[in-house]
Chain A
Amino acid sequence: MAELRTEELTINMGPQHPSTHGVLRLVLTLNGEIVTNVKPVLGYLHRCFEKHAEAMTYPQVIPYTDRMDYLNSMSNELAYVLAVEKLLGIEIPERVEYIRVIMAELQRIASHLVAIGTYGNDAGAFTPFLYCFMDREKVLELFEMVCGARLLYNYIWVGGLSHDITPEFITKTKEFIKYFRPRIKQVNNLLSYNKIFIERTANIGMLPQDVAVNAGVSGPTLRGSGVKYDLRKEDPYSIYNKFDFDVCVGTGEYGTVGDCWNRYIVRAYEMEQSLRIIEQALDSIPEGDVHSAVPKRVKPVAGESYVRTESPKGELGYYIISDGSLNPYRVKARSTSFCNLSVINQISRGHMIADVVMILGSFDIVLGCIDR
């Protein structure tokens, strides 16, 4: 009998595919249903952010950072603004710092809700997706109340904020916290502890600690591997050192530490911690003027600064070089998803097509951030 001829099948997952979370293209090499190689092809959403930034003044870059990781614009703005402020060496009013932290944490909740919801959708459960988006809507309403925009805010300015918050915002936020605590449990019961969901995600896409650290993976993806590393604790920026919160890591409650389920559940835990931070910040927020430190002209001296922050997706850094003019000489964004995604080939080999979808979803990538 002639030998049965088998060959590997190459399929293109994306750029238009429901579960690549944007316009990512994965070239999968398959042996039956088993994936033998994954080759990510990036750049479909490349908007030359870094080149544009060189032609803008410093404050003009902020709206561009909004559009990097469009699901967590506040954190992007915060990171960029912190880097510019470091160059300028200016002192920020305390009220501004508090509001920034509140916004960043609200944004973290919103971003994690999208991550959890879309992850459920990747697994085939559509209902949790809508539940999450319903709650995210409430966060977006808060943002709308404070700055008028729902997705791309341009809220955090160099040295201050575009608008002060109102007492109404504080009451509404407190109401939201009250409403949201039980909702986390609800989503957990519906999705996180669902037997089929655990079967789908536990022990899939193992990312060992040393590989994760070496590959520059960060955020919930890193903590899912059991590394207790959160920049808010380890290298506190803004005023995070004033608040009491826990760093959540994957515990291996189901599956093993470092698999998709643990990466996923870290996000659910973290929302709870974000609520804690917001509560503390709301209770102790001082009075003050949010515009008092905004410089008339942002013109730092020649030099450079690198600031890294803990965005919802991980370590977001901005490397800014100033040549003493009004425009930055070079802006480099150390994008979170870019680094997280780079391990995908390593950890999805040997799994099935359906698992690649789950692995990709567990990184919570945003293509605006990867391609810039």
Chain B
Amino acid sequence: MENIFTQWFGDNLLTYILIPVPIIAYVSVFALYAVLAERKISAWMQNRIGPNRTDKFGLLQTILDAVKLMQKELILPSRRDNLYFRMAPYIVFTAAFMGYAVLPFSSVFIGVDLNLGLFYFFAITSIGVVGVLMAGWASNNKYSLFGGMRTVAQIVSYEIPTALSAIVVVMLAGTLSMQKFALIQSGGIFNWYIFGGPGSPIKIIIIPIMVVSAVLLFLSTLAETNRTPFDLTEADSELVAGVHIEYSGMMFAMFFFAEYAQMFAVSGIVTTLFLGGWQSPFGELIPFLNTPVFQVFWFLAKGLSLVFVQIWLRWTLPRVRIDQLMTMCWKFFIPIALVNLFLIGLYIIFA
């Protein structure tokens, strides 16, 4: 995208300001409609109707909700830590949003194609946890503090299996650039890394490992975004709303937005690493489906399907307990990820 924009507008500051605009637009629209989708899907699952009063099918619901939240008074706890309290939502939101910079929407449409894209992504999304901890501490509320502490423990732990399962793909692909991951997986559905990536037929033996890695990555990222069954940050039945307790109006909306923005961001990572990114599942059979516009379609289709799975899980499963969450990470996810890593290493050496 950098290239296209510099071609169109010339190589000046304005161009670099313009580059994030489509991404910001996408994130905003996505977050608004993901909220609606979540409410609609949960309504269908629960035999309810869901929001249906604003426009057709409640299409304006979240927009109007946002308008309402903007109008609301910011009620601030009197004994807050003012600076941190006000900074936290912005940090969380910015961190969630900055991950989008390296998401390859299509072969030409990527914020910036860093050669350390994946590394950047993991680094930048981790900053969000600082914001959550700030919010938890600065609210001067014990429930918030608990929520904040739990989040830190949870996210820091789950970054390990996330990274380990991502490294499996990194080892096979030999790159960290997000665009290259997608490029390598060209040529149809069987060249996706969930099916062992491109290569000789002998790759069949690593398919189970790759499937396990993909599931592991998806679950760990789920934990990193604090979604049910891992939403211990909020845990409304124990911690009321965790770090969100003392936030109101637009400050709360920032947290809320960030969560939904992150939902798609992590789905985008899973898509890029394991599901072929913007590659068409038909490969070269139908070349027409591999044009940049359709690439965007494939990427969104895959990413949004994963978002749907996240929503689906949220409305089906109960929440785990904090110690079970940690046990799951340290005693199951990390060992499995390590074994995967080892086996892939053997495969690379011998195959």
Which residues of A are interface residues toward B (Cβ below 8 A)? Answer: 9, 11, 17-19, 33, 120-127, 130-131, 134, 190-191, 194, 196-197, 199-200, 352-355, 357
B206-246: CB near A (< 8 Å → 1, else 0) gives: 00000000000000000000001101000111111000000
Can you list 5 A-B contacts (CB < 8 A)?
A17-B240, A126-B42, A191-B318, A199-B321, A357-B237
Which residues of B are interface residues toward A (Cβ below 8 A)? Answer: 42, 45-48, 142-143, 146, 228-229, 231, 235-240, 315-324
* A124 and B46 in contact, given A194-B317, A200-B318 (Cβ under 8 angstroms): no
Does the CB pair B238–A353 fall under 8 Å?
Answer: yes
Q: Which residues of A contact B317 (CB under 8 A)?
A: 124-125, 194, 196
Does the CB pair B46–A357 fall under 8 Å?
Answer: no
Does the CB pair A124–B229 fall under 8 Å?
Answer: yes
The answer, among B46, B142, B237, for a CB contact under 8 Å with A19, is B237
Q: Which residues of A contact B319 (CB under 8 A)?
A: 123-125, 196, 200, 354
**Which residue on A lies nearest to B315, using beta carbons?**
A127
Does the CB pair B238–A134 fall under 8 Å?
Answer: no
Rounded to whole Å, the gap between the CB of A181 and the closest CB of chain B is 18
Does the CB pair B143–A11 fall under 8 Å?
Answer: yes
Does the CB pair A200–B237 fall under 8 Å?
Answer: no
Does the CB pair B46–A125 fall under 8 Å?
Answer: no
Does the CB pair B48–A18 fall under 8 Å?
Answer: no
The answer, among B45, B142, B143, for a CB contact under 8 Å with A127, is B45
Q: Which residues of A contact B237 (CB under 8 A)?
A: 18-19, 121-124, 357
Q: Chain A interface secondary structure, helix, strand, loop or mixed?
A: helix
Q: How far is the CA of A367 from the CA of B244 in the complex (A)?
A: 27
Rounded to whole Å, the gap between the CB of A311 and the closest CB of chain B is 25
Does the CB pair B238–A354 fall under 8 Å?
Answer: yes
Q: Chain B interface secondary structure, helix, strand, loop or mixed?
A: loop
Does the CB pair A354–B229 fall under 8 Å?
Answer: no
9 extra A-B contacts, CB within 8 A, seeds A122-B237, A124-B235, A354-B321? A11-B143, A17-B240, A33-B322, A124-B228, A127-B46, A131-B47, A199-B324, A354-B322, A355-B321
4 tightest A-B CB contacts, nearest first: A124-B319, A123-B318, A125-B318, A19-B237
Rounded to whole Å, the gap between the CB of B237 and the closest CB of chain A is 4
Rounded to whole Å, the gap between the CB of A72 and the closest CB of chain B is 23
Does the CB pair A130–B321 fall under 8 Å?
Answer: no
Q: Which residues of B contact A126 (CB under 8 A)?
A: 42, 46, 315
**Which residue on B lies nearest to A28, using beta carbons?**
B142
**Which residue on A lies nearest to B234, using beta carbons?**
A124
Q: Which residues of B contact A11 (CB under 8 A)?
A: 142-143
**Which residue on A lies nearest to B320, using beta carbons?**
A196
Q: Which residues of B contact A18 (CB under 8 A)?
A: 236-237, 240
